[in-house]
Structure 1
C-alpha cells in the first residue's frame, strides 16, 4: 500500500506512522522549510531533527517539493496518481486551490482513498478555521472536565486530541481500503478534530443527558471527582480501581472496613457511582495507612486492580515494558544512537521487518522522483528551479 503523506505536526504524522508501522510505504511530502515538528523541541543533536519528529516519522521516506511552483505541484499529483492513499491536514480551501481536493484527485485516480484531517467539519460554521490541539481541547470540553473536577480548566499535558484524531483517521483509512477491495471504488474521508474530541468527551460524560429529556446532569461523577487520581500512601502514591462488587468488597476488607460491604452507599456499583465523592474519601483515608509496596502485595493477592504511580522517567525503566521489548534502540544514520518505542500492536502473522529511520528533510527526493518516472535531467532542473529539494 502506497501512502502520500502531506501532513505536519502530530495529528497527520501519527496517522501515517501507524500505517507505516503496519507495512505501508509512506512518502512524506514536505515544503522547503520542512514540517514544523522538526523544530518543536529542545535538546536536539540537529536543529531540524527534534525528538518528536523522530518519534512520529519513522518508517517513512521524505521528499521536499514546493507545490506553489507548477513543477512541484505536478510532481505531487504524479505521486498521488500511483498511490492508494492520500492524507493531508491542509485546510480544504487550500486543497481546492491546488487541485488536491477529493473531486479533482478522483479524476486522476478513481481508486484513491483521500483522507482529509481538518480542525472542523465542512458542514459547520467553524469550517475553515485554523486550530491546534489546545484549541480543540478547550472547545471540545476536555479542559472543561478539569474545571468540573478541580475548579479550573486545564489541558491534558499531551496533544491528546491530535493523537486520538490521527488514530481515528488511520482506522477509517483501513476500513476504506477494505471496502475498496470489495467495490473497486475509492473514497473521500473527512476526519474533523473537534467532532472527534467532542465525541470522545461526551461518550464518557453525556451521562443522564443521554435521555431526552435529561434524567439528570451531565458528567460521570466518579471521573470528575477531585480524588480521581493517584492517591497518597504512607510513602508514595498508588492507583487502585475496584469497580465490581468482588473487587470493592475485597478492597473494604483490605483497608479494615468490612462493614462498608453492607453500607447502602457502597453495596452496589450504582450506589458507589451515586456516592462517588464519599467512596473516594474512603479510599483516601484507607490508603494512607500502608506503604505502596504493602498495598500492591495485598491488592495483587485479592485480585483488586492497582498499580504504582509512574513518572515519565519511571516509564524508561518499567519492568513490564522491558519484558515486552517496548523500548528499541537504533543507530540513526545522522542522529546517532536513539531510543524509540515499538508499535504497541502485535500481529500473529508479523508486521514490517525493517524500520526506516525518521528521514532528514528531502532525504529521498531524487529516488522518489526517479521512481515516479523523472529522468536525471528533469530532476536536476526541478532542483535548479527550487520545485524540488
Structure 2
C-alpha cells in the first residue's frame, strides 16, 4: 500500500453488513492495509442486497468493501483460529461488530489479545453499550432507528413513525468508529500502547438525535417541549415549483429578506413574525407557507438563477438517477467507471475527502470471497504445504464464484 495518512497501518476486519465495513472502508480509503476476515459463507451482504452479476458480489457489497483483501477462515476450526491469532499478532487495529460475549468466547476480546500484542487497538462496534441492560442484545439499523428516536422524528413531523430509507445508523456509527480509531492511533503514537474502544450504535444515535431535539428540555426543569419545531414541521421538505421541486435555506436575516424580495413580498421583513431568526423559528409554519406559495410561481431553473444572484442557499431536488448525473459531481469526478477483474465494467464513488499530504495511490477492487487467503497467510509465515493442509482440512477456503456464474 502506498500513500494516504494511514499508510503502514494494518487492520484486521472481522465485520459484516454495513456498520463495520463502512468503518474499515474509510480506513482503507486513507491508506490502511485492511484484511477482511470472512467465514466460509462470506459476509452476508455479498448476497443480501439486490443486484449482482455473479453470486456473492452484490453491488452493495462492492461499494462497502473496496480497497480490502479477503481472507476466508473458519474460526470454529482450531487451525482457522490459529491463523486469525497470528494475523492479530502483527496488526495495529482489530475491528469487529461481533457481540462482546461471542468475542470473549472465541478469545478475541481485548484482554486476551493484548497479552500478545500490547500495541493493538481493539475496536468493538456494538448495538448497545456495556453500561446498560441492553448490552449483548442483537440489533440491526431499523431496531436502533426505532429505539433512538429517529422514527419518532418522522412521527412528530408527518404523523407516522418511519425509518430513514438508508441504514443511517450503520453509516453514522461506522464513521464514528473510524474517527475513534484515528484518535486511538494518535494516542498510541505518544504512549506506545493500544487500547479497547467501544462504539455503541444506540448511544451514538441517541446523542445524534437529542443533540438536535432535546431543545427546551435541556433545562431542568424544561422551559418548553422537546424537538426543533422548524425541523419537525411537515413542511420541512423540498417545495414544489412550477415544474418540479426546489429546496431553499434562507436562514440568516440577509438571506430571508432577500428571499422576501425575490418572491415580491419585501414588506415581510418588517412583519414581527419574520423580522429575525428567532421569530421565524417560532412561526415556522407560517414561514414555510409563505415560502411554498412564493416558490410555486416560477420554474426550478428560474428560481435557481434568481436566488443564486442573491446568494441565498438553494438547490434543485435530485432523484437517485439525477444524482448520478449531477453536474458538480461530474466536474469533480465523483462517480468513476472502471473494470473489475471478475465483475466487468462497474461504477463506483470516489473518496470524497482529500488530504494535502497525499492520498492512497493504489486502489483495490472489492475482493471475491477468500481471494487473498493464501497471499495474506504467506505474508505471516505460512508455507505452501501448510496452506494445502489447512485448505484440505476446511480451516481456510477460497469460495469465490467464477466470473459469469449466475447470481
Place the TM-score, normalised by the shorter chain, in its bin.
Answer: over 0.9
Aligned ranges 1:204-215 → 2 under 5 Å: 204-215=212-223
For 1:42 and 1:125, locate their aligned partners in 2 and report how far apart those are by CA, in whole Å. Answer: 35
For 1:299 and 1:47, locate their aligned partners in 2 and report how far apart those are by CA, in whole Å. Answer: 49
For 2:50 and 2:271, locate their aligned partners in 1 and report how far apart those are by CA, in whole Å. Answer: 54
Q: Which residue, out of 64, 67, 88, partners 1:80?
A: 88
For 1:294 and 1:131, locate their aligned partners in 2 and report how far apart those are by CA, in whole Å. Answer: 47
Are residues 1:278 and 2:290 paired? no
Give the TM-score, by structure 1 length. 0.99
For 1:350 and 1:319, locate their aligned partners in 2 and report how far apart those are by CA, in whole Å. Answer: 26
For 2:382 and 2:395, locate their aligned partners in 1 and report how far apart those are by CA, in whole Å. Answer: 13
For 2:355 and 2:216, locate their aligned partners in 1 and report how far apart those are by CA, in whole Å. Answer: 39
Query: 1:95 matched to which residue of 2?
Result: 103
For 1:356 and 1:44, locate their aligned partners in 2 and report how far apart those are by CA, in whole Å. Answer: 19
Query: 1:182 matched to which residue of 2?
Result: 190
RMSD of equivalent CA atoms: 0.6
Segments of 4+ moved more than 3 angstroms: none
Are residues 1:232 and 2:217 paired? no
**Residue 126 of structure 1: how far off its partner (Å):** 0.4
Query: 1:173 matched to which residue of 2?
Result: 181
CA offsets 1:266-309 (integer angstroms, 9 cap, x no match): 10110011111111111111111111111110000011000000
Aligned ranges 1:115-134 → 2 under 5 Å: 115-134=123-142
Query: 1:313 matched to which residue of 2?
Result: 321
Are residues 1:388 and 2:396 paired? yes
**Residue 349 of structure 1: how far off its partner (Å):** 1.9
Secondary structure at the counterpart of residue 396 of structure 2: coil
CA offsets 1:176-206 (integer angstroms, 9 cap, x no match): 0000000011010000000111111011111
Are residues 1:140 and 2:156 paired? no
For 2:126 and 2:113, locate their aligned partners in 1 and report how far apart those are by CA, in whole Å. Answer: 18
Secondary structure at the counterpart of residue 257 of structure 2: helix
For 1:8 and 1:45, locate their aligned partners in 2 and report how far apart those are by CA, in whole Å. Answer: 21
CA offsets 1:293-339 (integer angstroms, 9 cap, x no match): 11110000011000000000001110000111101111100000110
For 2:275 and 2:245, locate their aligned partners in 1 and report how far apart those are by CA, in whole Å. Answer: 26
Query: 2:3 matched to which residue of 1?
Result: none
For 2:51 and 2:278, locate their aligned partners in 1 and report how far apart those are by CA, in whole Å. Answer: 49
Query: 1:346 matched to which residue of 2?
Result: 354
For 1:25 and 1:221, locate their aligned partners in 2 and report how far apart those are by CA, in whole Å. Answer: 45
Query: 1:10 matched to which residue of 2?
Result: 18
Q: Which residue, out of 66, 69, 86, partners 1:61?
A: 69
For 2:377 and 2:282, locate their aligned partners in 1 and report how far apart those are by CA, in whole Å. Answer: 62
Uncovered stretches (5+) of structure 2, i.e. residues with no partner: 1-8, 398-407
**Residue 377 of structure 1: how far off its partner (Å):** 1.1
Aligned ranges 1:253-332 → 2 under 5 Å: 253-332=261-340
For 2:16 and 2:68, locate their aligned partners in 1 and report how far apart those are by CA, in whole Å. Answer: 13
For 1:130 and 1:274, locate their aligned partners in 2 and report how far apart those are by CA, in whole Å. Answer: 41
For 1:92 and 1:127, locate their aligned partners in 2 and report how far apart those are by CA, in whole Å. Answer: 9
Q: Which residue, out of 176, 180, 197, partners 2:205?
A: 197
Query: 1:249 matched to which residue of 2?
Result: 257
Secondary structure at the counterpart of residue 87 of structure 1: strand
**Residue 43 of structure 1: how far off its partner (Å):** 2.6
Query: 2:229 matched to which residue of 1?
Result: 221
Give the TM-score, by structure 2 length. 0.95
Query: 1:368 matched to which residue of 2?
Result: 376
Query: 2:403 matched to which residue of 1?
Result: none
Secondary structure at the counterpart of residue 145 of structure 2: helix
Secondary structure at the counterpart of residue 97 of structure 1: helix
For 1:144 and 1:343, locate their aligned partners in 2 and report how far apart those are by CA, in whole Å. Answer: 33
Query: 2:343 matched to which residue of 1?
Result: 335
Uncovered stretches (5+) of structure 1, i.e. residues with no partner: none
For 2:206 and 2:174, locate their aligned partners in 1 and report how far apart those are by CA, in whole Å. Answer: 15
Query: 1:378 matched to which residue of 2?
Result: 386
**Residue 41 of structure 1: how far off its partner (Å):** 2.1
Q: How many residue pairs end up in the alignment? A: 389
Secondary structure at the counterpart of residue 217 of structure 1: coil
For 1:220 and 1:385, locate their aligned partners in 2 and report how far apart those are by CA, in whole Å. Answer: 59
